[in-house]
Amino acid sequence: MYQLILSNVAKHISLTEEEELFFLSLLKLKTIKRKEFLLKEGGVSRYQTFVAKGCLRTYTIDDMGKEHIVMFSPEDWWSGDMYSFITGKPAAYTIDALVKTDIIQISKNNLEKLYEKIPKFERFFRMLFQNAFVIYQNRITSNLSQKANERHKQFIKTYPGLEQKIAQKYIASFLGVTPEFYSAMKQK
Amino acid sequence: MYQLILSNVAKHISLTEEEELFFLSLLKLKTIKRKEFLLKEGGVSRYQTFVAKGCLRTYTIDDMGKEHIVMFSPEDWWSGDMYSFITGKPAAYTIDALVKTDIIQISKNNLEKLYEKIPKFERFFRMLFQNAFVIYQNRITSNLSQKANERHKQFIKTYPGLEQKIAQKYIASFLGVTPEFYSAMKQK
């Protein structure tokens, strides 16, 4: 599991062995069961979470009780309610596991220690957020201007292989269509 | 104008006078007229752009020729097609000025020089993207789950004072409603 997060970090910065050890000493491993909550709307997000195995989903529930999925975090992705994590205010999102999921977490305090001791991590998270920004920008555009089948193509590009790993109803929800429509669309 | 961008940077990091001068030496000032393009879809975004005065909009045009506004960049905001800037590939967005706009730009090469010489800027841009991520996350949620009047409230919170500065049709487009519906909604 540690190897996975080190490879994730190595995509953007190189660490010495000593730096790796310090980084790993700040992390916490956890396994969450299918349908277990990592965060509930209204709670406070105190961790940045890396997914080593499985898949998390981040969603919100509207006044009509309908779920809206904002993002998936499959293996090798990060997750968290960033607004709540930064401000310490109540989270707008709920995060749960779609399958049994192994995660690696870093608390806000430990992340500050990390930035202080190994400033290269500023670069790492700068690049991480930069990429997340691009993904979200695409998501906004495709919600605004694209047809469901275009959004489906975009989904496959963003999350290669995920379609086979999680229940179809979640993908339908992410795409903003009914499960029936999604299933008909897939067959075409 | 330089004072504005220095204040923007000072929100997240402190610079020595020497660092300020180095930073300023990498920047380019420009004024763009109302309706002038900063970037066209398909072009390559070579700059990160700070708005010192005025307002830019970032938008995309769908197959039906309809414009969809992804973000506004009023005074003290940053702008750019991040995907194109990072990858050097064609931009998905068009950026133009809604009013006469004074901008300050930094090129990709100069930004790399800046990160190298003053690594604190990694922190600055990390925080900038972190905040942008939160704004986009809110935008996605409000598009998915909120009614037009909730989206309007969110708009006012994100862009205080902007409603009085730009044409109403742009705000209607951003909210995904017709100008007539927007105007009726505002009166309530």
CA nearest to A184, candidates A152, A160, A143, A145: A152
Chain A CB within 8 Å of residue B119 CB: yes
Distance CA B53, CA A50 (A): 39
Predicted ipTM of the assembly: 0.81
Q: What is the pLDDT of residue A145?
A: 72
Q: What does the pLDDT look like over A119-146, one tens digit per residue?
A: 999 999 999 999 888 888 888 777 777 7
Position B145 pLDDT exceeds 80: no
Sign of the Cα pseudo-torsion (A81, A86, A91, A97, in order):
positive
Q: What does the pLDDT look like over B97-109, one tens digit per residue?
A: 999 999 999 999 9
Residue A52's pLDDT band, with cuts at 50, 70 and 90, is: very high
CB contacts of B174 in chain A (<8 Å) are none
The amino acid at B121: F
Six token digits for residue A41:
């709307």
Contacts 24+ apart (CB under 8 A), A126-131: A126/B122, A126/B123, A126/B125, A126/B126, A126/B129, A127/A12, A128/A12, A128/A78, A129/B126, A129/B129, A129/B130, A129/B132, A129/B133, A130/B82, A130/B86, A130/B125, A130/B129, A131/B86
Instruction: With residue B158 as reference, give the H or E element that holds it.
Output: helix B148-158
Q: What does the pLDDT look like over B24-49, one tens digit per residue?
A: 999 999 999 999 999 999 999 999 99
Position A61 pLDDT exceeds 90: no
pTM above 0.90, yes or no: no
Q: What does the pLDDT look like over B84-93, one tens digit per residue?
A: 998 899 998 9
Please give the average per-residue pLDDT across B157-167, as a whole number.
88
Q: What is the pLDDT of residue A146?
A: 75
Six token digits for residue A136:
């979200």
The CATH topology of domain A2-119 is: Jelly Rolls (2.60.120)
In order, the DSSP letters of A69-124 are EEEEEETT-EE--HHHHHH-SPPS-EEEESS-EEEEEEEHHHHHHHHHH-THHHHH
Distance from CA of A99 to the nearest CA of B (A): 23
Pick the residue from chain B with its C-alpha nearest to A66.
B145
Q: What is the pLDDT of residue B20?
A: 97
Distance CA A86, CA A65 (A): 27
Query: What part of A 25-54 touches B (C-beta under 8 Å)?
Result: none
Query: Is B56 within 8 Å of B96 (Cβ atoms)?
Result: yes
Query: Is B78 within 8 Å of B130 (Cβ atoms)?
Result: no
Partner-chain residue, chosen from A68, A129, A141, that has the shortest CB–CB distance to B145: A68
CB contacts of B122 in chain A (<8 Å) are 119, 122-123, 126
Q: What is the pLDDT of residue B2?
A: 93
Distance CA A85, CA A82 (A): 5
| CATH architecture of the region B2-118 | Sandwich (2.60)
Position B72 pLDDT exceeds 80: yes
Cβ burial of B103 (10 Å; 0-12, 13-18, 19+) is buried
Higher pLDDT, B171 or B121: B121
Please give the average per-residue pLDDT across A140-165, as a whole number.
84
Mean pLDDT score of chain A, rounded to an integer? 91
**Domain edges within chain A:** 2-119
Position A63 pLDDT exceeds 80: no
Please give the average per-residue pLDDT across B123-146, as a whole number.
85
